[in-house]
Amino acid sequence: MREVVVISGKGGTGKTSLTAAFAHLAESKVICDLDVDAPDLHLLLDPSVVRDEAFISGHEAIIDPEKCSGCGLCASMCRYDAIDQDGDVYRIAPLRCEGCKVCVAFCPEQAIDFPPRHCGQHYMSETRFGPMVHAQLFPGQENSGLLVSRLKKEARVLAEERGLELILCDGAPGIGCPVIASLSQTDLAVVVTEPTPSGVHDLERVASLCDHFRTRVAVVVNKHDLNPEQTSRIGALCKEKGYTLAALLPHDTAVTEAMVRRQAITEGEDSAIATQVRQAWRTITDLLHS
């Protein structure tokens, strides 16, 4: 079983559109959307949900107003300023609460409950390209790295059950916790970037993270023709660091038109960029099995 994750140093590079095309081209795979804070792969793949489960992580403090005596001890002890006065009693501001449990431990009236926190939902679905696991964190919720790890585990179990050979992941942008979790047990990271100074900088950061975890890197430059100078700079960086330059994709409105139709660029009528994406996938497949 092989695992490929498509990532980028920042959002908006075309990572999800490229992942959708790879999902169309790949055989014997499980598709996995690991961008749990702002998932969008489902917009192109239109999944039918088979299983829907709550993601429970951590705890949240809740003050019972009937038991609260209004002493204010909890507010004075909360280092996150997450407790506000509400008339004669106090209440928790959930977006500021870190779940440290200090208020629960020291409340003289034992008026604060500490139930598990419902942070989001995760799903197992079927798409026209095959099975897919994905999730959605609620706004402001944390533990995205834990949820990503859970999705990867579910994808691997699903692949083993069905005898599938590839896990294809749409990773989160940046270099934070969800990306670090995405790189665990990954055979190849496909980094999508753009030929701009910030694109080069973000490529260097995320590729350095891959190097830290000893994950092989393939680079796809999207809209390479908009800035040939920066494209050459990316090519030189790949040569210096030993990264595979998998594709130089031009700016093409066909990608946007396919997105509006909720299709991958490789679906429907062939276009010049669809041919280039197909070649990019062949390069990535060869690299994956080398």
User: What pLDDT is recorded for position 57?
Assistant: 87
Q: Are 15 and 126 members of one domain?
A: yes
Q: Are 190 and 204 members of one domain?
A: yes
Q: Which residue has the tokens 């961008």?
A: 35
Domain CATH for 86: 3.30.70.20
HSE-CB for 230 with a 13 A CA cutoff? 18
Q: Are 135 and 81 members of one domain?
A: no
Regarding pTM above 0.75, the answer is yes
Q: Are 161 and 177 members of one domain?
A: yes
User: What pLDDT is recorded for position 205?
Assistant: 94
d(CA 174, CA 166): 24
Q: Are 106 and 199 members of one domain?
A: no
Q: Are 28 and 164 members of one domain?
A: yes
Q: Are 130 and 21 members of one domain?
A: yes
d(CA 173, CA 8): 5
132 close to 32: Cβ distance less than 8 angstroms: yes
Tokens read off for 46: 């239109």
Domain boundary residue among 81, 97, 114? 114
d(CA 172, CA 42): 14
Domain CATH for 49: 3.40.50.300
User: What pLDDT is recorded for position 72?
Assistant: 93
Residue 86: Cβ within 10 Å count: 13
Tokens read off for 83: 């407790």
Domain count within the chain: 2
- Secondary structure (H, E, C), 227-266: CHHHHHHHHHHHHHHCCEEEEEECCCHHHHHHHHCCCCCC
In tens digits, what is the pLDDT along the chain, a chain of 290 residues? 899 999 998 888 999 999 999 999 999 999 999 999 989 999 999 999 999 999 998 888 999 999 999 999 999 999 999 999 999 999 999 888 888 999 999 999 999 999 998 999 999 999 999 999 999 998 878 778 889 999 999 999 999 999 999 999 999 888 888 899 999 889 999 999 999 999 999 999 999 999 999 999 999 999 999 999 999 999 999 999 999 999 999 999 999 999 999 999 999 778 899 999 999 999 999 998 88
Give every strand in the sheet of 188-193, ordered side by side. 48-59, 116-127, 130-137, 29-33, 166-173, 2-8, 188-193, 216-222, 244-249
167 close to 2: Cβ distance less than 8 angstroms: yes
d(CA 155, CA 29): 10
By C-alpha distance, which of 14, 93, 13 is closest to 60? Answer: 93
d(CA 24, CA 271): 15
DSSP state of 81: -
Domain boundary residue among 114, 137, 152? 114
Q: Are 100 and 219 members of one domain?
A: no
Strands (DSSP E) contained in the chain are 2-8, 29-33, 48-59, 62-63, 83-86, 89-92, 112-113, 116-127, 130-137, 166-173, 188-193, 216-222, 244-249
Q: Are 142 and 47 members of one domain?
A: yes
Q: Are 243 and 142 members of one domain?
A: yes
Q: Are 42 and 89 members of one domain?
A: no
User: What pLDDT is recorded for position 290?
Assistant: 82
User: What pLDDT is recorded for position 82?
Assistant: 95
Domain ranges, residue 88: 61-114
Q: Are 234 and 165 members of one domain?
A: yes
